[in-house]
A and B are shown apart, each in its own frame.
Chain A
Amino acid sequence: EPEVTQTPSHQVTQMGQEVILRCVPISNHLYFYWYRQILGQKVEFLVSFYNNEISEKSEIFDDQFSVERPDGSNFTLKIRSTKLEDSAMYFCASTLNTNEKLFFGSGTQLSVL
């Protein structure tokens, strides 16, 4: 079965540093998402992306965050200057249509020290 892949599985960074989390969505999917899960809390929506632009974002997704689909296969989340509270598991997801099931990657655990 096709799957969404994310790299790296773990990322440790110093506060204030930039990080890029990478995702390869399922190849024929058109809608892409980032979610995050702070330890012990809900899975929270960050941003959705379609047709090479952000279609919706949450209030968490401030100016420190950006997303990009630099080529036909990768979908990246950049955090410009990381804060301690950015420590979380970040999940990428993709789907073919918005009213169909989302396929999630296994996540990147980001630890900001």
Chain B
Amino acid sequence: GEDVEQSLFLSVREGDSSVINCTYTDSSSTYLYWYKQEPGAGLQLLTYIFSNMDMKQDQRLTVLLNKKDKHLSLRIADTQTGDSAIYFCAEIVYSGNTPLVFGKGTRLSVIA
């Protein structure tokens, strides 16, 4: 079945770039997503990339997709303390009502 893997923790200094990595297994994934979860809050869609793209940039966020290696990354430029949260990678497969499959999440800690 589908599986999404992420490293669990990342710690960066304020102002540095953060890179959160994710690998997925289903090569037929159509969309890949990054969600952010702040403490006690819900899942906020940060950005997503369609599977026929290699890169997507949205202000401080850059998503890179390597379909051959089934590797997705999220780069946050100029990381701020407000970026501290758990970041979830998720994949969806275009197939009826197939659900979104999430990774375990990467906890990003930003040190001032």
**A and B form one complex:** yes
Task: Pick out which of these stretches binds chain B: A40-48, A66-74, A75-83.
Answer: A40-48
B interface majority secondary structure: strand
Minimum C-beta distance from B31 to chain A (A): 7
Whether A45 touches B100, Cβ cut-off 8 Å, given contacts A91-B43, A101-B48, is yes
Query: How many Cβ-Cβ contacts under 8 Å join chain A to chain B?
Result: 63
Q: Is the interface of A mostly helix, strand, loop or mixed?
A: strand
Are the CB atoms of A102 and B100 closer together than 8 Å?
Answer: yes
When C-beta atoms are compared, the residue in chain B nearest to A34 turns out to be B99
Q: A33-B100, A99-B92 are in contact. List 13 more A-B contacts (CB 8 A).
A: A35-B100, A43-B43, A43-B90, A43-B105, A56-B96, A56-B98, A99-B30, A99-B31, A101-B33, A102-B45, A102-B92, A104-B44, A106-B41
Q: Which size class do B's interface residues fall under?
A: 20 to 34
Task: Report A's interface with B, CB cutoff 8 A.
Answer: 6, 31, 33, 35, 41-45, 48, 50, 55-56, 58, 91, 93, 98-107
